[in-house]
Structure 1
Amino acid sequence: MSEPHVLLLGPPGAGKGTQSKRLADEFGLEHVTTGDALRANKHMETEYGTPAEYMDAGELVPDGLVNEIVKEALQSADGYVLDGYPRNLDQAEYLSEITDLDAVLYFAVSESELVDRLTGRRVCADCGANYHVEFDRPETEGVCDECGGDLYQREDDTEETVKERLRVYEENTAPVVEHYRDEGVLVEVDGEGTPDEVFERVTSVVADASDE
């Protein structure tokens, strides 16, 4: 078969970004995220305008425009790992019209674990490298290993904000998870443990899908 089409779902902090990059490398796939696709095509003309018009104004990019950008990104890829889309049922239905999925993985992680992961994240103010106070510490506390910049906690990584992000995710995206579960294509993956342990579970599912 052709290269697999893989969709990763899960709440903020579940590890989708880390695992999708590793999957892309392992199977030679395109790593497609909504943010990257919008930035790569920010001047693409659509009936809704260009992504740049919304991004530069700090406004939410409408679903119709996001759909067009994702379609463009997927059409230029043989196999792909899709991360960060669809975020609602309308987008999920649109996705089914433009592509076929070989594997849909949902990362199951407890809320307490998600809060620990997200509130412990630290970001370099200069180069943007990510660390964690427990799981991925820099050699010198508060200092980036890559460039020596200062590490800080993002405003949206405080406990109060994290819990609100998880609530919004549950409200908007949980129906997407149920949509794929009802279709019988969803595979729930234990998202807790080390990144290597989770990656082993993920690659097993994708390898099985590739063999079918």
Structure 2
Amino acid sequence: MSQNVLILGAPGAGKGTQSARIAEEFDVEHVTTGDALRANKHMETEHGTPASFMDEGELVPDPVVNEIVRAALSEADGFVLDGYPRNLSQAEYLDDITDLDVVLYLDVDEDELVNRLTGRRLDPETGDIYHVEYNPPESEEVEERLVQREDDTEETVRERLRVYRENTRPVIDHYEERGDLVRIDGEQTPDEVWEDIRETIENEA
């Protein structure tokens, strides 16, 4: 039986890594807002196309994002949704268009998130991402050319986390109050986090 899974968590909590594992293990679609918008950027909605906002560097408004997500979910036979809903009105819209089997929240302390995000380094030649502490490159040559992306500086990271808390806290409260939220300790190793997630989804099946 296909599962409809929602995964929530702050930037740096590990949603992308764990979503990919969920998609593979349970044979469901990995739906991210960014991918859905890029794949459907010319889709006509009554509020315009996503491209009309993205090309101007503007945030795509909720009604357009909502329609794109609805289209992506309607085509999926089971999914793990990552990066949506970002606010309470999106969560309420999601309630109207689909039934969720599991809502996971990767719980990670803010200082740990800052450590994870500010430690990320990019290899400009290959596009590979490393981490100074958790995943350093084996080659000295690679290490010497690594750069920190602008959005991974501490000031930018703390601002991203503040915006995330402000917008997404009500979403977490929404699912917690309904008794649907399962908190996963996101500070464990990725494999330990995965074991908790897999067990949770299997128990809900």
TM-score bracket relative to the smaller structure: over 0.9
Structure 2 residue matching 1:135: 3-state secondary structure = coil
Instruction: Give the equivalent residue in structure 1 for 2:183.
Output: 188
Deviations, residues 48-90 of structure 1 (Å, cap 9, x unaligned):
1111111111110000000000000000001100000000000
Q: CA deviation at 1:137?
A: 1.4
Amino acid at match of 2:131: H
**Aligned pairs for 1:92-103 within 5 A:** 92-103=91-102
Aligned-residue CA RMSD in angstroms?
Answer: 1.4
Q: Name the CA distance, whole Å, in 1 between partners of 2:198 and 2:58.
A: 36
Amino acid at match of 1:50: T
Do the aligned partners of residues 154 and 142 (structure 1) sit closer, same or farther apart at CA in structure 2, a change above 3 Å counting?
farther
Q: Name the CA distance, whole Å, in 2 between partners of 1:157 and 1:104.
A: 28
Q: Name the CA distance, whole Å, in 1 between partners of 2:165 and 2:147.
A: 27
**Aligned pairs for 1:5-154 within 5 A:** 5-141=4-140, 143=142, 150-154=145-149
Structure 1 residue matching 2:121: 3-state secondary structure = strand
Q: CA deviation at 1:141?
A: 4.2
Identity value in percent: 66
Q: Name the CA distance, whole Å, in 2 between partners of 1:141 and 1:75.
A: 47
Q: CA deviation at 1:193?
A: 1.9
Q: Name the CA distance, whole Å, in 2 between partners of 1:189 and 1:26.
A: 18
Q: Does 1:199 align with 2:198?
A: no
Do the aligned partners of residues 160 and 75 (structure 1) sit closer, same or farther apart at CA in structure 2, a change above 3 Å counting?
same
Q: Name the CA distance, whole Å, in 2 between partners of 1:50 and 1:34.
A: 15
Amino acid at match of 1:122: R
Do the aligned partners of residues 132 and 23 (structure 1) sit closer, same or farther apart at CA in structure 2, a change above 3 Å counting?
same
Instruction: Give the equivalent residue in structure 1 for 2:174.
Output: 179
Instruction: Give the equivalent residue in structure 1 for 2:158.
Output: 163
Q: Is 1:142–1:152's contact at 8 Å kept on the other side of the alignment?
A: no
- More deviation in 84-93 or 47-56? 47-56
TM-score in terms of structure 1 length: 0.93
Do the aligned partners of residues 141 and 115 (structure 1) sit closer, same or farther apart at CA in structure 2, a change above 3 Å counting?
farther
User: Which consecutive unaligned segments of at least 5 residues does structure 2 have?
Assistant: none
Structure 2 residue matching 1:114: 3-state secondary structure = helix
Structure 1 residue matching 2:58: 3-state secondary structure = coil
Count residues in correspondence: 205
User: Which consecutive unaligned segments of at least 5 residues does structure 1 have?
Assistant: none
Q: CA deviation at 1:175?
A: 0.5
TM-score in terms of structure 2 length: 0.96
Q: Name the CA distance, whole Å, in 2 between partners of 1:123 and 1:68.
A: 33
